[in-house]
């Protein structure tokens, strides 16, 4: 399928940010997941740091991050993230990871250490984490939340009916429970989730997902168009028109979300700082 006219990106401002990240031996989800907005974000500069290596223990149909045997947990990585954030002058840092089902805590301690390192280095900087599901382990979730992130994000990615296709190694109810438990453990921390359109879902199915998220107190929401990162990934079933994204944004706001970003090129961490600061 050809890209429609409303999906356009520019690849600018990449080199300086990429050089800094390589100098610190760091990965970003912007690059590993082939985000179409990385030129826009890197030119600011901003980036979503991806910790715990660049190989995922899962193999989701939509994602271009490499799947396979993961690397060792690097004890120096949290400090390198903090130093890179300092050199970039970031006031808002987003940290995500590959899924690490091989680790007893799913990588939760590494998240916590990275959050602490960033806040120690940049005391006024806000931190958002985008975590995997930790296989539903509440203790791992508590480890992350106890380290004091300002926003906790876990993406639902798609509607319940399509989980077996899009996220075959994940579970819809498990992901909902991650967000539900996060709000119970740390009610003062904003929770956030995101989903992609274009897998063949219906508008009614999306609205049901939005209701499920608001039912467990999710505060922030992102909705974007799925773009096939490579030929080995799931094909795009449909390119959703911008007016549908706008209609879903209005529906989400009516349900009570504090802030909603919805559009073809919206991604989970794009303009995350703007989302946070508009409600603070």
Span 122-170, pLDDT tens digits: 999 999 999 999 999 999 999 999 999 999 999 999 999 999 999 999 9
pLDDT at 33 over 50: no
pLDDT at 173 over 80: yes
Q: Please, what are the domains in the chain?
A: 15-277 (3.20.20.70)
Query: Residues 265-269: what's their mean pLDDT?
Result: 87
Q: What is the mean pLDDT of the chain?
A: 89
Contact 147, 116 (CB under 8 A): yes
pLDDT tens digits, one per residue of 87-122: 999 999 999 999 999 999 999 999 999 999 999 999
State residue 48's pLDDT score.
83
Q: Quote the tokens at residue 254.
A: 């009516």
State residue 91's pLDDT score.
92
- The region of weakest confidence among 16-20, 61-65, 193-197, 223-227 is 16-20
State residue 32's pLDDT score.
47
pLDDT tens digits, one per residue of 43-74: 455 678 999 988 899 988 888 788 888 889 99
């Amino acid at each position: 399928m050809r890209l429609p006219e409303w999906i356009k990106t520019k690849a600018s401002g990449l080199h300086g940010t990429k050089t800094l990240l390589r100098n610190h031996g760091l990965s970003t989800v912007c690059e590993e997941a082939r985000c179409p907005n990385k030129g826009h974000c890197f030119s600011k500069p901003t980036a979503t740091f991806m910790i715990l290596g660049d190989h995922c223990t899962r193999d989701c149909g939509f994602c271009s991050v490499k799947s396979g045997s993961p690397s060792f947990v690097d004890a120096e990585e949290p400090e390198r993230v903090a130093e890179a954030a300092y050199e970039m002058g970031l006031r808002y840092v987003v940290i995500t990871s590959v899924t690490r089902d091989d680790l007893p805590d799913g990588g939760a301690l590494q998240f916590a250490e990275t959050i602490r390192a960033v806040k120690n280095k940049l005391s006024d900087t806000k931190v958002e984490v985008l975590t995997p599901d930790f296989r539903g382990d509440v203790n791992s979730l508590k480890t992350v939340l106890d380290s004091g992130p300002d926003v906790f994000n876990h993406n639902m990615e798609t509607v319940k009916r399509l989980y077996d296709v899009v996220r075959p190694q994940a579970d819809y109810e498990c992901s909902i429970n991650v967000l539900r438990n996060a709000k119970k453990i740390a009610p003062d921390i904003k929770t956030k989730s995101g989903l992609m359109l274009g897998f063949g879902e219906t508008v009614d199915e999306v609205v049901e997902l939005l209701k499920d998220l608001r039912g467990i107190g999710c505060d922030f929401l992102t909705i974007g168009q799925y773009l096939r990162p490579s030929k080995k990934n799931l094909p795009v079933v449909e390119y959703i028109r911008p007016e549908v994204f706008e209609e879903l944004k209005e529906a989400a706001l009516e349900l009570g979300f504090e802030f909603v970003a919805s559009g073809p090129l919206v991604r989970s961490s794009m303009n995350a700082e703007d989302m946070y600061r508009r409600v603070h």
